[in-house]
Amino acid sequence: MGRFFGTDGIRGRAGEFPLQPEALTIIGATLSQVLAARTGRTPRLVIGGDTRESSPWIAAAVAQGIAQAGGTVSCAGIIPTPGIAYLTRAEGFDAGIVISASHNPFHDNGIKFFLASGEKTDDTLETAIEAALENLSPAPVQPEAPGSAPASLWEDPTHALSYLEFLTQHIGADLDLSGWSIAVDCANGAAAPYANIMLQALGAKTFVTGAAANGRNINDGCGTIHIQHVAEVTRAAGAQLGIAFDGDADRCLFVDEQGEVVDGDAILYAMATDADARGELTPRCVVATVMSNMGLELALRERGIDLIRTPVGDRAVLAAMLEHGALLGGEQSGHIIFARQSLAGDGLLTALNVLRLLVERQCSLREAVRGLTRFPQTLVNVPVREKRPFETLPRVAATVREVEAQLAGRGRLLLRYSGTENLARVMLEAANGIDIGTLAAQVAAAIERDLGNGHPG
């Protein structure tokens, strides 16, 4: 990660540097220049984003820079992040650009990049953009759409149709959801124009919420970060399961018919064991991050399936999948990658794959994940004013040693900084009988004393 790039592209508050017109134009121009040098031709790019009120003018400013440097841009409008990854690969674009801040509130935004292969951007491109931005001076903060921002782009509706056809006719081919009732929470985000159409086209009865985006209500009391909302809808409607997407729909979480959460670990378990039973998990491994529960690792190991762990982020997951030839990987948060179908985490695609498993096995979601027993796990977020190595913080280092001594090999403590927010994350899991809440609170308090900028949450 650099000064501007985190684990998932550039992210910040819209109107603050570098999400300002001049900087955005420089980003677009730099991207176009790097691609032209690589390909030896005029680069073609596709751009789209989520429902934030700032997304149109940010996209237009980036596109202006691309055009100034000789590139061409086609706009897909509101579309999930993996939709841009699909279009980039399937329609022969040299790169794809997504304007989104995923699960963040509406006032934030960001930029993600995809290569022609559908993979997220590489270090060379990020380094070039970082260098270009270093030479700029931030403009005054402009929280509303800046007057200097260019007008919105013309949207080509064929892009959305192409992505929908990929989902319904390729991923969903021969999938009959007749008789299935599904609650759907679109987070007032990029899934809103797609999820209901996709599921109803395959025969499902849907109960949709979070599909009335107004530019400011993305992730507001809905979506994956408020999973209890779709759980309530599922129970009230008597649906067989519920699906919640995040703001840019690159991930999803599920709830079963009783409203119990089924997260990315559970989905990895269900999909891996099903594929293995069919003889289709070759090699017999799954990629997950350091945040995945120890219970997943043990449950897979009992079935002869290796779990390969990576740092947090779907980019790290994909890199390990490609290195080991793994077909399945993902994160506890719901980013799941099915390498035979896409190199990007895709919430809509994940939903279809899970539904296909349930239809073909004629089982409920609760039954599909029954073999996974979790270690109790807790996660505490601590606001921080800076991100210094934990081992250099005396109170933190001492507390970590004390906690690990109490765990005595029966649990796991993980400290990391968020790649997109000023937060330290304390994850602790352990066998039953260990008070993980108290131990995690001790570590969080030590971080607060050394780096604190608020109250742990």
**pLDDT > 60? residue 263:** yes
Q: How many residues does the chain have?
A: 457
List pLDDT tens digits, range 44-66.
999 999 999 999 999 999 999 99
Burial class of residue 391 (count of CB atoms within 10 Å of its CB; 0-12, 13-18, 19+): exposed
For residue 137, indicate whether it is catalytic. no
Domain boundaries, position 111: 10-159
Residue where one domain finishes, among candidates 140, 159, 178:
159
The CATH number covering residue 153 comes to 3.40.120.10
Render pLDDT for 404-414 as a digit per residue (tens, 0 to 9).
999 988 899 99
Compute how many other C-beta atoms are within 10 angstroms of the C-beta atom of residue 130.
18
Q: What is the mean pLDDT of residues 351-371?
A: 98
Per-residue pLDDT at 170 = 98
Which one, of 115, 127, 136, 119, lies nearest residue 20 by Cα?
Answer: 136
Q: Examine residue 298 and state whether it is found in any structural domain, yes or no.
A: no
Q: Is residue 101 part of a domain?
A: yes
* Domain limit, last residue, from 135, 159, 183: 159
Alpha-carbon distance of 315 to 326, in angstroms, equals 14
Q: What is the pLDDT of residue 282?
A: 96
Q: What is the pLDDT of residue 410?
A: 86
Sheet holding 261-262, edge to edge: 205-209, 181-185, 241-245, 252-255, 261-262
Q: Which long-range contacts (CB under 8 A, 24 or more apart) does 35-39 make?
A: 35/71, 35/94, 35/95, 36/69, 36/70, 36/71, 39/94
In a domain, 236, yes or no: no
102 marked ligand binding residue: yes
Local structure of 10: helix, strand or coil: strand
Determine what percent of the chain is predicted with pLDDT higher than 70.
96
Q: What number is the average pLDDT over the span 15-34?
A: 96
Q: Answer for the pair 394, 284: CB distance below 8 angstroms, yes or no.
A: no
Which residues fall within 8 angstroms of residue 268, CB to CB, at 6 or more apart? 286, 288, 292, 296, 328, 329, 330, 336
The answer to whether the annotation marks 246 as part of a ligand binding site is yes
Task: Specify if 255 maps to a domain.
Answer: no
- Tell me: is residue 314 an annotated ligand-binding position: no
Does the pLDDT value for residue 457 go beyond 70? Answer: no
Other beta carbons within 10 angstroms of residue 412's beta carbon come to 17
- pLDDT average, residue stretch 215-235: 98
Mean pLDDT lowest for which of 174-178, 268-272, 371-375, 416-420? 416-420
Residue 341 lies in a domain: no
Distance CA 18, CA 3 (A): 11
Among 119, 143, 159, which residue terminates a domain?
A: 159
The structural domain count of the chain equals 2
pLDDT tens for residues 108-136? 999 999 999 998 888 899 999 999 999 88
Q: What is the largest CA-CA distance in the chain?
A: 63
From the candidates 32, 54, 100, 102, which is the catalytic residue? 102
Q: Does residue 215 have a pLDDT over 80?
A: yes
* Nearest CA among 197, 215, 113 for reference residue 161: 197
CA 220-225-226 angle, 5° bins? 65
Average confidence score pLDDT of the chain: 94
Q: Is residue 438 part of a domain?
A: yes
**Per residue in 129-181, pLDDT tens?**
999 999 887 777 765 655 555 556 889 999 999 999 999 999 999 999 999 99
Please compute the mean of the pLDDT values over residues 71-93 and round it to a whole number. 98
Checking if the pLDDT of 456 tops 50, the result is no
Q: What is the pLDDT of residues 31-48, one digit of tens each?
A: 999 999 999 999 999 999
Nearest C-alpha neighbor of 255 from the set 243, 238, 268: 243
Per-residue model confidence as pLDDT tens digits over 306-330: 999 999 988 899 999 999 999 999 9
- Residue 349 placed within a domain: no
Q: What is the pLDDT of residue 412?
A: 94
Residue 293 lies in a domain: no
Distance from C-alpha of 229 to C-alpha of 327, rounded to nearest angstrom: 32
The rounded distance, in Å, linking the Cα atoms of 302 and 278 is: 17
Q: Is 250 marked as a binding-site residue?
A: yes
